[in-house]
Structure 1
Amino acid sequence: MRAVLTSLCILSALIAPGASLLCQQCTDLQHNNCSTSAPVQCHSSQTHCVSILRQTILSVGGPKMMSIIKSCGTKKDCDLTTSTNAGSFQMITSSKCCNTDNCNPPQINIPLKETNPNGLYCMSCYSGSIDTCDKKENTTCVGGEDRCIQYGVTIKSGGQDMKIAVHGCATRNMCDTQARAAYYGSSFEVKGFQCSSGTRPQLGLFLSALTGLLLMKLFS
């Protein structure tokens, strides 16, 4: 009996390492594809190879810049599309997955940015040099952007850290993933993430008017 148990333990030890998925792990901040010569072995809980394509615009009317992130992940990281609007800064991300060793996910297409206002707004700002920003302005949310978010990110690239800060409108899945849907893997460190519901301007104006009327009545 002891010999049988020993054999089972040895067999389990031999099988376990091979059961982990192998995936590409790379980040390219300037292109829409990247690869490595040797895939990494994923943690046993990571069942999918995840690719996230990100499109950013840093100024109104500016060029669209593409970047790609590939890493090990889970099923909940798959098939996510996010939208972020921080005034001059716009970002859309889309993720796809596959679940075989060193596989390539299906082609990722970035959807067109929705432009119809949804009646909500957030205070927004963007910094491309530090992970905080203070000069905020009202930004109208569009499409499915029903949340106000703020966060800072440290990006590790080529041995040099880059920092950005984003405050603005975003889709709910940016909150659900704590921005993981857009900044995935060891190259990114998200700090100070906060999320709240978008505000309706009409409500703010109504409250301001009501407060004014009450003060006038109080002092008349």
Structure 2
Amino acid sequence: MFSAWILCLLSALTPISYSLMCTKCRATDSVSCTGDSVTCKVNETCVSTYTEAVSSSGTVSSLLIRSCAPSTQCNVTGNATLPDGKIWAFTSCCNSDNCTSPIVKGYLLLCTTCRGTNSSTCTGESVKCKKDETCLSSYTETTYSNGTTSSELIRSCAPSTRCNINGSISAPTGRIWKFSSCCNSDNCTSPINTAPAFSSESSGVICPSCQASDTDWCYTGNTLPCTGDNNVCVLYTTMTDGRKSAVRGCASKSICGSQTYNINGSVITYDLNCTCGGSSSSSVCSDTNVTCAAGTACATVHTLTTMGDASSERVTKKCLPINQCGISGIASIPKGKMKIMTMCYTDSCNLPMPQFPEEKINYNGVTCRKCISADTDCYTSETMQCTGDERACLLQSTDLTGSTKASTAIRGCTTRNICDLSRQDYVADGITSSTKFACTNGAAPVQRSLAILATLFILKYLN
């Protein structure tokens, strides 16, 4: 009897082996698969085995297998070079029912990296790309207003999102056509198309127009009627090893975005910042039923102001001049920050809302006067060091009229695009607010405590 009781106790103390449930599946040219859930043997785990094969012609194929397996098969990595190509294999494991352990792609493409001008070919080094990159050919052809042309070809590794871009820019200098294509074998060269004929048919959009050298910003107040598939406005900036240029005009929505290339140590950046343009005729805003005049656009203006512990956030829908569309700027003011972004929209243009810019702390070499005054101007000898992209000095003056009357002026640092806002008027609860933005410097002292109280009072009514 006693021995039977001991055997029963020992049985209770013996651990019960747990059998894991794992998905069993197989897929080609994919990093995921689905299948049945199976019960593994004791001490087995869920394993993912991923194999990539690259033929001598550059064709990539893959096989994924998920199943039960001993833990000795986990975290195995290897590769082999064969007469007709390369093979790379990787395994990973996980230990919960029907879990899917991560897949690591092993094959990295080799691409020629080069830049050529006025040519459809270029030669350069063969570099190993990052994971999920492909071999890109990016071709730009410019036709100037005097009839001459120039072209640029860049070949490089790039994400597949940059492939198969085809569009144009209309600017004061002429027309710019951009095309890209991709291929997926080592050091391949994807084909380059020739520029199509530009259409002269109006697209019904009007955009700001300017050009400038040695800067990434320009503004003149001039406008340009858009044609063909140029249905958005663009600020097109280029920077090559620190040398900058900027152009405003019309663009095809398909080419908007930013690209950076490192060609044999030379860094080249193209930034196409697109916004919705104004209509060549009056238009009705669908959400407010307000009619905007020709050359203006339905818009949302979002302002966030912080000053000490006080803050004010305002979202307003109104008609804006087209040169005020797509602004995302920041200003440093005494004891706070002001951020502004504007988004224009039409029935045929629905670009993402821009984001408030990030606050940067690195001094950029620009120094501006700073002050707050309970008046429409302020003068001071105090200065502040500007940071990040805040390379202009701001004077912002605000008047409240109507049932409440007050004034304030603020000086500080700002990004240049906030200066393009010029003047903004709002009416709410019988109070009219008129704010002017100007890039300027000032000098003379100010009664700070009274100024801060007046500024916070205005923030309350602008909320």
Fold conserved (TM > 0.5)? yes
Q: Matches of 1:179 and 1:64 in 2, distance apart?
A: 24
Q: CA offset at residue 84 of structure 1? A: 0.5
**Any residues of structure 2 matched to 1:1-220 within 5 Å, and which?**
4-5=73-74, 8-9=76-77, 11=78, 15=88, 19-36=107-124, 38-46=125-133, 48-58=134-144, 60-156=145-241, 161-175=242-256, 178-180=257-259, 184-186=260-262, 187-190=267-270, 194-203=273-282, 207=293
Question: Is the CA contact (8 Å cut-off) linking 1:57 and 1:64 kept in structure 2?
Answer: yes
Question: Is the CA contact (8 Å cut-off) linking 1:89 and 1:126 kept in structure 2?
Answer: no
Higher alpha-carbon deviation: 96-105 or 197-206 = 197-206
Q: Deviations over 1:133-182 (max 9, x none)?
A: 222411111111110111422113xxxx431101111011222xx143xx
Q: 1:110 to 1:190 in 2, by over 3 A?
A: closer
Q: Matches of 1:120 and 1:63 in 2, distance apart?
A: 27
Query: Larger relative contact order (C-alpha < 8 A, sep ≥ 6)?
Result: 1
Q: Matches of 2:72 and 2:292 in 1, distance apart?
A: 79
Q: CA offset at residue 92 of structure 1? A: 0.3
Partner of 1:216: none
Q: Matches of 1:170 and 1:100 in 2, distance apart?
A: 32
Measured on the aligned residues, the alpha-carbon RMSD in Å equals 2.8
- Secondary structure of the residue that 1:146 maps to in structure 2? strand
Q: 1:29 to 1:135 in 2, by over 3 A?
A: farther
Q: 1:154 to 1:40 in 2, by over 3 A?
A: same
Q: Matches of 2:126 and 2:204 in 1, distance apart?
A: 46
Q: 1:104 to 1:206 in 2, by over 3 A?
A: closer
Question: Is the CA contact (8 Å cut-off) linking 1:92 and 1:113 kept in structure 2?
Answer: no
Letter in 2 for 1:169: C
Q: Matches of 2:74 and 2:222 in 1, distance apart?
A: 67
- Secondary structure of the residue that 1:19 maps to in structure 2? coil
Letter in 1 for 2:185: T
- Secondary structure of the residue that 1:173 maps to in structure 2? helix
Q: CA offset at residue 206 of structure 1? A: 6.8
More helix by share: 1
Point out where structure 1 has 5 or more consecutive residues left out of the alignment: 209-220
Higher alpha-carbon deviation: 80-89 or 199-208 = 199-208
- Secondary structure of the residue that 2:293 maps to in structure 1? helix
Partner of 2:336: none
Q: CA offset at residue 207 of structure 1? A: 3.0
Question: Is the CA contact (8 Å cut-off) linking 2:120 and 2:192 kept in structure 1?
Answer: no
Q: Deviations over 1:99-138 (max 9, x none)?
A: 1011111242222222222121101111244322222411
Q: Matches of 1:112 and 1:128 in 2, distance apart?
A: 28
Question: Is the CA contact (8 Å cut-off) linking 2:165 and 2:255 kept in structure 1?
Answer: no
Q: CA offset at residue 88 of structure 1? A: 2.3
Q: Matches of 1:136 and 1:29 in 2, distance apart?
A: 33
Q: 1:57 to 1:128 in 2, by over 3 A?
A: farther
Q: Matches of 1:136 and 1:33 in 2, distance apart?
A: 39
Point out where structure 2 has 5 or more consecutive residues left out of the alignment: 1-69, 81-86, 89-103, 284-290, 295-463
Q: Which has the larger radius of gyration?
A: 2
- Secondary structure of the residue that 2:142 maps to in structure 1? strand
Q: Deviations over 1:70-108 (max 9, x none)?
A: 111233322211111112232101111111011111242
Q: Deviations over 1:30-84 (max 9, x none)?
A: 4332111x311000121x21101111134x1231101101111233322211111
More strand by share: 2
Instruction: Normalising by structure 1, report the TM-score.
Output: 0.75
Question: Is the CA contact (8 Å cut-off) linking 1:122 and 1:139 kept in structure 2?
Answer: yes
Letter in 2 for 1:98: C
